[in-house]
Amino acid sequence: MKLYRITSCKYVDDLSGYGAGLHGGRWNSKGVFLLYTSQNISLAQLETLKRYELSRRFVPNNCLLVLEVPARSVLTITAANLRRGWRNDPAPKYLQKIGDFFFAQNHYLLLKVPSALNPLEYNYLINPRHKDFAKIRIVKTTPISIDRRLVRKKGQPQRKRP
């Protein structure tokens, strides 16, 4: 299966999950190294925009990473499996516990989770410690731009249309 990730071109080849491990995320605590990917490019862009909002820093030099990932080792979490409010921002702490447990157990390569931004689509968290991680293949890396009209600084009013 193909999975997609958008990140700074500087780190496009880093599949270690270091960024998520350094800062933590919706599905992992600090110190838990997971690689966040999406099922399609547009969801990867949406997730990237949310990251910019949280960090308050726009990174202009982005690259798209396309991965070919074995699809036989997947643990799936659906929105129906989650408690009410799972999409809240900040995320409920129990979501991190799910990802941390997935990482610690190391039974699956992929954790398929609904996107909090679009719960009809899925993100895939990759466990770099899993035995099948070495089977992941980088298919393509290419520069990708995110339209600045989609990014506004906090407190900046939206443009009114005539």
Q: What is the pLDDT of residue 149?
A: 72
Q: What is the pLDDT of residue 158?
A: 54
Q: What is the pLDDT of residue 152?
A: 59
d(CA 95, CA 97) in angstroms, rounded, equals 5
Q: What is the pLDDT of residue 56?
A: 54
Q: What is the pLDDT of residue 50?
A: 81
φ, ψ at 137 (rounded to 5°): -125, 135
3-class secondary structure, 106 = coil
Residue ranges, the chain, pLDDT below 70: 52-60, 148, 150-162
Q: What is the pLDDT of residue 61?
A: 83
12 contacts: CB under 8 Å, gap ≥ 6: 63, 65, 141
Q: What is the pLDDT of residue 156?
A: 58
Q: What is the pLDDT of residue 160?
A: 56
Task: Kindly report the pTM of this predicted structure.
Answer: 0.89
Domain ranges of the chain: 2-146
